């Protein structure tokens, strides 16, 4: 009698299908650079500057840089916009304001982070000048002179210089980390090239564009700046638009990591965003006042 042994083979173990872990793409960030330069022109509607034959140089930069198509000023007249760019608050709506601003500001945060800065103001009477208008220089286009940090420090006041120093600082590679560039009222599209207001917008914009070509193009083509720099050209306010209070203005970004030829989305930005961008680009992460809640301009960078 024979016997057989039956072997029971267990069924194969089937592993459940694996699902790749869900990953969240990193949030867009503002790239850090060594130098930020801001140029502020005056009183121009977006449509008068963008794609305008009156500003061929500014528009020529768009093939290398980016255009914010939904960027708005924060008020009328000029002064609240300049303060928003540097303090994150409008502070006043009176161009004749003569007080002192003690709120947190760009100078304080740059200093705390060990970053250098200068204001290059065209037609400034003398280095460190904190006084009133000496035409064609006007005080209310230079928000730094109102800051308590500057008023109470003769050393910091020396960072406010005539624009004539800009070309030499650029040529000798001693530009500060942060440059705030203020053309005078004959060159920023505020007044006519010969003074006064008895000319049309065409004449004023052609003069401003020529000034940019003559004075800012050397920065645009500077090898050191292109290696690690960000240039922002904007207008303080529109001429007569009150959309979002200050009206839509043309704002151009150019430099390291900026998307060439990029046109911004429908997302809206304003001068608070400029303050946020100018500080974070220098790795200064404490942003003053309302600018800390501003929409970040990360979409313009790659």
Positions in the chain whose pLDDT score sits under 70: 1-27
The answer to whether 82 and 40 have CB atoms below 8 angstroms apart is: yes
pLDDT tens digits, 186-198? 999 999 999 999 9
SS (HEC) of the chain: CCCCCCCCCCCCCCCCCCCCCCCCCCCCCCCCCCEEEEEEECCCCHHHHCCCCCCHHHHHHHHCCEEECCEECCCCCCHHHHHHHHCCCCCCCCCCCCCCECCCCHHHHHHHCCCCEEEEECCCCCCCCCCCCECCECHHHCHHHHEHHHHCCHHHHCCEEECHHHHHHHHCCCCCCEEEEECCCCCCCCCCCCCCCCCCHHHHHHHHHHHHHHHCHHHHCCHHHHHCEEEEEEECCCCCCCCCCCCECCEEEEECCECCCEECCCCCEEHHHHHHHHHHCCCCCCCCHHHHHCCCCHHHEC
pLDDT tens digits, 121-171? 999 999 999 999 999 999 999 999 999 999 999 999 999 999 999 999 999
User: What would be the CATH architecture of the domain defined by 35-300?
Assistant: 3-Layer(aba) Sandwich (3.40)
Cα Rg of the chain, angstroms: 25
**Is-cis flag, bond preceding 110, omega within 30?**
no
pTM of the model: 0.91
Distance, CA of 77 to chain centre: 19
Residue 3, pLDDT score: 45
Locate 60 and state its tokens. 């020529």
Residue 28, pLDDT score: 72
């Amino acid at each position: 009698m024979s016997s057989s042994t039956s072997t029971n083979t267990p069924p194969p173990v089937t592993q459940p299908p694996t699902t790749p872990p869900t990953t969240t793409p990193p949030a867009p960030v503002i790239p850090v650079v060594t130098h930020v330069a801001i140029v502020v022109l005056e009183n121009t509607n977006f449509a008068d500057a963008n794609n305008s034959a009156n500003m061929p140089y500014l528009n020529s930069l768009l093939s290398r840089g980016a255009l914010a198509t939904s960027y708005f000023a924060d008020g009328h007249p000029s002064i609240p916009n300049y303060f928003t760019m540097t303090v994150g608050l409008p502070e006043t709506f009176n161009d004749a304001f003569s007080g002192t601003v003690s709120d947190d500001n760009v100078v304080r945060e740059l200093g705390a982070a060990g970053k250098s800065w200068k204001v290059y103001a065209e037609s400034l009477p003398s280095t460190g000048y904190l006084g009133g208008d000496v035409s064609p220089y006007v005080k209310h286009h230079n928000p730094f002179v109102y800051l308590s940090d500057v008023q109470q420090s003769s050393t910091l006041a020396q960072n406010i210089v005539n624009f004539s120093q800009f070309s030499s600082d650029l040529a000798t590679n001693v530009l500060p980390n942060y440059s705030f560039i203020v053309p005078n009222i004959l060159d920023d599209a505020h007044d006519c090239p010969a003074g006064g207001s008895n000319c049309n917008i065409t004449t004023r914009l052609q003069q401003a564009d020529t000034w940019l070509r003559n004075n800012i193009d050397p920065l645009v083509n500077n090898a050191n700046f292109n290696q690690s720099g960000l240039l922002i050209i904007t207008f303080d306010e529109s001429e007569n638009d009150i959309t979002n209070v200050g009206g839509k203005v043309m704002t151009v970004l150019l430099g390291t990591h900026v998307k060439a030829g990029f046109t911004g989305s429908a997302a809206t930005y304003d001068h608070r965003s400029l303050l946020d961008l100018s500080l974070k680009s220098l790795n200064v992460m404490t942003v003053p006042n309302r600018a800390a809640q501003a929409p970040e301009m990360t979409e313009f960078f790659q």
